[in-house]
Amino acid sequence: MISAFAPPPYLLPPSGYVVVPTTPPSWVYVSPHAAPPPFHGGKRSVHGPKQHHQVPMKNVHASLSKQNPNAAIKVSSPLELSVLQSSFPTSSGSFKSELIEPVIKLMLEFLRQTDSHLMLNAYPFFAYAANGDKISLDYALLRDNPDVVDSDKDLKYSNLFNAQIDAIFVAMSALEYDNVLVTVFDTG
């Protein structure tokens, strides 16, 4: 198990774990007996321009690489869909302009250089709750419904989750980061 964050006292490392310090206030707890899986780096997902995760991710990656230079450890931090300026139609997916240079491009470049995945928190329910007059509940809950058509690209979406993920891919492609893989970290 690998986790990177500033832990509250009740989350102190269990017995048998190695503490790898990074730039405070971050720590990495590594079980010496387990193969290192991909993990979440950073304290919270990105919501706005004041939260820069590239530096903590680089610090965690550097600390882990220093401890075991041959390990294939991936470091990432999840993005919320709120980083999108536009997500409908899906083919218009774009990041908020104020986040592109200080957060998005730096993060995606780090992920590309380290062959890590972008972790994404996708919550179709929140989109439905905010736009219930425009989004059907069945579409948000992945139930049978009339497909939503993106007429710009003639694409059909049977559910909001797929449309949201595609909007992220379109936004990444516009910045020429379409070779960074995406993993859904949390959803609901």
In this prediction, residue 73 carries a pLDDT of: 74
Cis-peptide, bond into residue 14, ω within 30° of zero: no
d(CA 167, CA 132): 19
Tens digits of residue pLDDT in 118-175: 989 999 999 999 999 999 999 999 899 888 999 888 889 999 999 999 999 999 999 9
- Residue 165 CA from chain centroid, whole number: 11
**DSSP per-residue string spanning 105-140:** HHHHHHHHHTTPPEEEEE-HHHHHHH-TTTS-HHHH
List the chain domain ranges.
2-187
d(CA 4, CA 63): 11
Given pLDDT bands bounded at 50, 70 and 90, which one contains residue 14?
A: low
| Domain 2-187, CATH among 3.20.20.80, 3.40.50.80, 3.90.1150.10, 2.60.40.10 | 3.20.20.80
In this prediction, residue 8 carries a pLDDT of: 46
- Residue-wise over 140-158: b if at least 16 C-beta within 10 A, else e? beeeebeebebeeeebebb
Helices (H), 11-72: 54-67
Q: How many CA atoms lie within 13 A of 97 on its CB side?
A: 0
| Cα separation values, 174 from 39, 93, 95, 104, 124, Å | 27, 9, 9, 12, 23
Tens digits of residue pLDDT in 22-81: 454 444 544 444 444 434 444 444 444 444 555 667 777 777 777 766 667 788 888 889
In this prediction, residue 45 carries a pLDDT of: 41
In this prediction, residue 9 carries a pLDDT of: 44
| Cα separation values, 69 from 61, 74, 112, Å | 10, 12, 18
* Pair of tokens at residue 104: 């998005």
- Residue 174 CA from chain centroid, whole number: 17
